[in-house]
């Protein structure tokens, strides 16, 4: 009874963030909640894809785990039980309870991930609130920081004019995306809350908790644990420079504890990076080599703010923490100056640099306002802005993605037919986006998808996919070299030779050529765009080799069909609306199973 009363008193004391946080989370997930109701006449149970391929692949991870597979390759039959390439174990946390209960085959993975997304976002808001409350002791300030951090970040991410009137920003709130960055950020704030408690207290429990939570971050999200250390390292140096060795010792203990717990992930990453397939994955993950300095106006402003705060409040115990956040932003954006390598640094910028710049900016701006009345107006304005922005962002995101999700309902008949097969196999599918749905809503694997380059996929499959898709395309079947040359020429209508996913059938060629070039990914991209003589020369030689192999394969009876047989393909899904250029008459032994609205499912007999 006493515990219940304590809970009630706690809820009453923090009712502002509990209520406002729930409202914020509801706004964030409203598009997913209301989509089935708003499309009742056409809805067929497919409520995924708000973040298109990114979201679908997270859901596919969950599906793979429910079926007892590893995460080495979540799309293809090959390479599943290899290293957990992306080093995120959050999907295990989502699905293991259902496996232990013996109901894995009855679970809707989309519902599970959305449920954990809703819960995780609410907990994140509370964690940001309590972290800021530890720094400030101000509940309204803490609420404003938490709500704007989660609901208003995009107002800083994008210039207002482009956001409000342009196509930029036609996306959902990032925390409605499954797994990352939501759970990475949630893990960081668990660490930060325990970390601040350990600095303010001599209790060993808080220090041990901080170290453990830092170590657990290794198993959640690569960009999260690296950002956490980018924050922790400068804070350690600041306390050393201040000769506050008591605090510096605590930080060192927490950091070392985290490294011990995360050692398994570090070893796995090292072993993977030393393998041939690991080097291939790093290349296709847009790993870049160089020591270029990156300047960010947002990070610069976020650095000035705590420096001014320090100048005005030299005795404050919070300026080292605020300054460490600002320094962490610069470290993650420019670590390549020391390491010589970076992998997709925009994950740091959009998912961590901007939100923590928001946190620092609001805290410092609030301290500069001299009168309490205006401080309250400032904070309430931020809260209202966060709500208004989230409602607008989610509404516009819903409008933007609605055609995709509406069209996806057409695949329900195909999905139901595939799920009747008690022995799942491999699907050759035409459209490059909708085929990933099949890995979420069925137990079948794919023959190919453009994103397999960041999973355990042998280069042989890249070539096989190129040959199969160009053979099925009436325009390219007998003009292998000419078709590729036309689409890869500098004058082609796509803005980037590296992102011509509209030409799904030569995406595998782009990957092969970039890897064959021996250049760094971005160097290849720039040279390909400019029609560099080296790339043109390489293409001539490389295409000649591929064309010879292609002609050798198609000259044999059932040459292409044998590739499909070896890959275990037993179904073909042809979306005639999206890919009218296909011609399946060249594949013998096809049996139509079902069709709806010009989308066909065939079974292939060998």
Query: pLDDT of 63-90, one tens digit each?
Result: 999 999 999 999 999 999 999 988 999 9
Can you give the pLDDT at residue 159? 53
pLDDT band at 167; cut points 50, 70, 90: very low
Can you give the pLDDT at residue 298? 92
Query: pLDDT of 474-500, one tens digit each?
Result: 999 999 999 999 888 766 544 343 334
In this structure, the number of other CB atoms found within 10 A of the CB of residue 310 comes to 17
DSSP 422-490: SS--EEEES-TTGGGHHHHHSSPEES--GGGGGSS--HHHHHHHHHHHHHHBTTTTT-HHHHHHHHHST
Query: pLDDT of 545-573, one tens digit each?
Result: 999 999 999 999 999 999 999 999 999 99
103: Cβ contacts below 8 Å, ≥ 6 apart: none
Query: pLDDT of 236-246, one tens digit each?
Result: 999 999 999 99
Can you give the pLDDT at residue 488? 84
Q: How many CA atoms lie within 13 A of 165 on its CB side?
A: 3
- The whole model's pTM is what? 0.94
CB 517 within 8 A of CB 538: yes
Can you give the pLDDT at residue 158? 67
Can you give the pLDDT at residue 489? 78
Q: Which whole number is the average pLDDT over 505-532?
A: 87
CB 150 within 8 A of CB 386: yes
Beta bridge pairs of residue 604: 590
Q: Which whole number is the average pLDDT over 302-316?
A: 95
Can you give the pLDDT at residue 161? 46
pLDDT band at 160; cut points 50, 70, 90: low
Query: pLDDT of 441-470, one tens digit each?
Result: 999 999 999 899 999 999 999 999 999 999
Can you give the pLDDT at residue 491? 61
* Chain Cα centroid distance, residue 488: 28
Please say if the pLDDT value at position 233 is more than 50: yes
d(CA 109, CA 59): 6
Q: Which of 16-25, 84-93, 319-328 has the lowest mean pLDDT?
A: 84-93
Can you give the pLDDT at residue 523? 86
* Chain Cα centroid distance, residue 395: 21
Closest residue by Cα to residue 294 from 339, 347, 349: 349
pLDDT band at 19; cut points 50, 70, 90: very high
Can you give the pLDDT at residue 505? 65
295: Cβ contacts below 8 Å, ≥ 6 apart: none
284: Cβ contacts below 8 Å, ≥ 6 apart: 453, 454, 511, 515, 521
**Average pLDDT across the chain, whole number:** 92
Q: How many CA atoms lie within 13 A of 492 on its CB side?
A: 22
Can you give the pLDDT at residue 455? 95
d(CA 513, CA 493): 19
Can you give the pLDDT at residue 492? 55
CB 454 within 8 A of CB 595: no
Query: pLDDT of 377-412, one tens digit each?
Result: 999 999 999 999 999 999 999 999 999 999 999 999
Beta bridge pairs of residue 342: 288
Q: Which whole number is the average pLDDT over 31-45?
A: 93
Buried b (16+ CB within 10 A) or exposed e, 269-284: beebeeeebbebbbbb
Q: Which whole number is the average pLDDT over 125-139?
A: 98
Domains in the chain: boundaries: 412-604
Query: pLDDT of 403-446, one tens digit each?
Result: 999 999 999 999 999 999 999 999 999 877 799 999 999 999 99
Of residues 19 and 432, the one with the higher pLDDT is 19
CA angle at residue 177 from 171 to 178, to 5 degrees? 165
Phi, psi of 599 (to 5 degrees): -115, 125
Can you give the pLDDT at residue 170? 61
Can you give the pLDDT at residue 63? 97
């Amino acid at each position: 009874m006493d515990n219940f009363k304590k809970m009630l008193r706690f809820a009453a004391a923090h009712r502002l963030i509990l209520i406002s946080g729930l409202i914020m989370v509801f706004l964030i997930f409203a598009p997913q909640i209301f989509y089935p109701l708003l499309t009742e006449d056409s809805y067929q149970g497919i409520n995924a894809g708000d973040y298109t391929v990114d979201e679908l692949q997270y859901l596919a991870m969950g599906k793979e785990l429910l079926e007892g597979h590893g995460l080495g390759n979540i799309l293809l039959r090959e390479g599943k039980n290899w290293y957990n390439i992306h080093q995120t174990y959050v999907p295990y946390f989502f699905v293991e309870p259902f496996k232990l209960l013996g109901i894995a085959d009855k679970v809707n993975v989309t519902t599970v991930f959305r449920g954990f997304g809703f819960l995780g976002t609410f907990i994140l808001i509370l964690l940001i609130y309590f972290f800021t409350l530890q720094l400030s002791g101000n509940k309204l300030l803490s609420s404003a920081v938490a709500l704007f951090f989660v609901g208003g970040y995009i107002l800083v991410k994008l210039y207002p004019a482009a956001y409000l009137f342009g196509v930029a920003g036609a996306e959902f709130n990032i925390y409605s995306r499954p797994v990352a960055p939501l759970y990475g950020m949630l893990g960081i704030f668990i660490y930060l809350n325990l970390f601040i408690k350990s600095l303010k207290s001599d209790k060993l429990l808080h220090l041990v908790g901080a170290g453990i939570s830092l170590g657990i971050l290794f198993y959640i999200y690569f960009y999260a644990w690296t950002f956490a250390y980018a924050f922790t390292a400068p804070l350690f140096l600041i306390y050393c420079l201040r000769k506050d060795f008591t605090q510096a010792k605590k930080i060192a203990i927490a950091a070392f504890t985290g490294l011990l717990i995360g050692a398994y992930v570090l070893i796995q990453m090292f072993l993977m990076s030393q393998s041939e397939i690991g080097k291939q994955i790093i290349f296709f993950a847009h790993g870049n080599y160089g020591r270029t300095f990156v300047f960010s106006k947002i990070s610069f402003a976020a650095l000035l703010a705590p420096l001014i705060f320090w100048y005005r409040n030299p005795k404050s115990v919070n300026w080292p923490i605020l300054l460490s956040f600002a320094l962490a932003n610069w470290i993650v954006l420019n670590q390549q100056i020391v390491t010589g390598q970076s992998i997709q640094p925009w994950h740091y910028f959009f998912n961590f640099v901007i939100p923590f710049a928001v946190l620092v900016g609001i805290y410092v701006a609030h301290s500069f306002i001299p009168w309490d009345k205006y401080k309250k107006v400032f904070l309430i304005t931020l809260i209202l802005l966060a709500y208004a922005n989230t409602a607008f962002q989610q509404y516009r995101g819903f409008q933007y993605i609605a055609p995709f999700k509406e069209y996806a309902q057409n695949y329900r008949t195909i999905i139901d037919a595939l799920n009747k097969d008690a022995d799942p196999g491999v699907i050759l599918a035409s459209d490059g986006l909708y085929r990933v749905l099949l890995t979420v809503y069925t137990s079948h694997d794919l023959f190919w998808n453009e994103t397999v380059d960041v999973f355990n996929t042998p280069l042989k499959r890249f070539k096989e996919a190129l040959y199969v898709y160009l053979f099925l395309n009436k325009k390219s079947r007998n003009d292998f070299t000419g078709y590729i040359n036309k689409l890869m020429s500098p004058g082609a209508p796509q803005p980037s030779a590296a992102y011509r996913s509209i030409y799904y059938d030569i995406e595998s060629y782009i990957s092969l050529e970039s890897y064959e070039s021996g250049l760094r990914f971005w160097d290849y991209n720039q040279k390909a765009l400019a029609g560099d003589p080296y790339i043109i020369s390489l293409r001539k030689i490389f295409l000649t080799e591929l064309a010879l192999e292609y002609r050798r394969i198609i000259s044999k009876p059932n040459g292409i069909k044998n590739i499909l047989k070896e890959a275990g393909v037993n179904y073909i899904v042809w979306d005639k609306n999206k890919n009218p250029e296909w011609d399946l008459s060249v594949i013998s032994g096809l049996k139509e199973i079902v069709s709806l609205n010009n989308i066909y499912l065939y079974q292939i007999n060998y």
